[in-house]
Amino acid sequence: MTHSLSPSPERSGSRPAPTFAVIPGAQVQQALSGREKQIVELVEATYRLHGAGRSVNPPSYFLRFPDRPADRIIALPASVGGSVHVDGLKWISSFPANVGAGLPRASAVLILNDHDTGYPFACLESSIISATRTAASAALAADRLSRDRPRPERVGFFGTGLIARYIHTFLTGTGWAFDETGVYDVSAASAAGFRGYLEQSGAPGRVTVHRGAEELVRSSDLVVFATIAGEPHVGDPAWFAHNPLVLHISLRDLAPEILLSSANIVDDVEHCLKADTSPHLAEQITGNRDFLDGTLDDVMSGRLTPPSDRPVIFSPFGLGVLDLAVGKYVYDEVARAGQLRLIDDFFHDLRRYG
């Protein structure tokens, strides 16, 4: 393990008491900036570990509020083996009204626990980690799911918040270039802001702000849904007649009828078919899971080849193991640079009998 340890005087021959590090957002961003290819490779390796049964990823736990139905805080516990070798928990809130007050919708922390002692050894600002692992997963899926079909040349972003920005960064950072980038958001101001970001990023190709959702979908070979929708709001399968690749990141945008006429890839079957996601609704309607073709790991390992004659939809629930892998990467980078902010006396009263 790379985290610092301090000796405990009354535990001769036993494990030393750990120190505790706090890693703020600026350090997280510095550790991840410009590392898109490395992070996508890390996410791919973590998916493979998960597919091989070398992880523990129990269901996410949703804290909801009867007086604030739009808000929630989610706990994602997980454990990863392999070279990551860490346990932990992401605690992420989603308060949509924050956007109107000039704050990001989501805020989060990530706790890393030592594999051998269970002691937490770091707390990291995690909204950036969460956005990064989501974007890396999306970029990985875009690459893997387009290898047996013409590579998309027109990308469309439905929803233009932080996640859309990170996904665009990871697509361009892993070699994607588009002839046209389409933008649509129910908020004209958000769409205009995202267009400004795209133009300032220097990405090649034309940027088009579309007047409606249908126009965006029909004009895109790769469609990215990154909204805060709580229930399906896109319901016409005819919009997808040109068989695009769809990154259904926000999970609840598409009516079940669209999924039932498409090939469906998920990150984890059990996780994705719950909490009234679009795949969960499709399961409820059909009474089975036959509409699911498989997982991204199935595609990566060659057990599944996505078809080219239907829309292909990737619906990732978002696995806590990805947060842990990216968080541990950040921790190791900050430690390697000698910049950990340690709180040596965080743990107190470690003598068993006083």
Classify 122 as helix, strand or coil: strand
pLDDT surpasses 50 at 241: yes
Residue 350 has what pLDDT?
Answer: 79
Q: Which value, in Å, is the radius of gyration of the alpha carbons in the chain?
A: 21
- Residue that is written with structure tokens 């804290």 in the block: 63
What value does the mean pLDDT of the chain take?
93
* CA–CA gap between residue 14 and residue 19 (Å, rounded): 16
pLDDT surpasses 60 at 309: yes
Residue 203 has what pLDDT?
Answer: 84
* CA–CA gap between residue 276 and residue 62 (Å, rounded): 13
Structure tokens at 323: 């947060």
Mean pLDDT of the 132-146 span:
98
- Residue that is written with structure tokens 């899971």 in the block: 289
Please report the domains of the chain, with CATH numbers, ordered by start residue. Answer: 5-130+320-343 (3.30.1780.10), 131-315 (3.40.50.720)
* Residue 327: how many other CB atoms lie within 10 Å: 29
Helix (H) or strand (E) holding 151: none
Q: What is the pLDDT of residues 192-236, one digit of tens each?
A: 999 999 999 988 899 999 999 999 999 999 999 999 898 999 999
* 3-state secondary structure string across 180-210: EEEEECCCHHHHHHHHHHHHHHCCCCEEEEC
Residue 160 has what pLDDT?
Answer: 96
Q: What is the pLDDT of residues 260-296, one digit of tens each?
A: 999 999 999 999 999 899 999 999 999 999 999 999 9
Q: What is the pLDDT of residues 16-71, one digit of tens each?
A: 777 899 999 999 999 999 999 999 999 999 999 999 999 999 999 999 999 999 99
Q: What is the pLDDT of residues 315-335, one digit of tens each?
A: 999 999 999 999 999 999 999
Residue 353 has what pLDDT?
Answer: 82
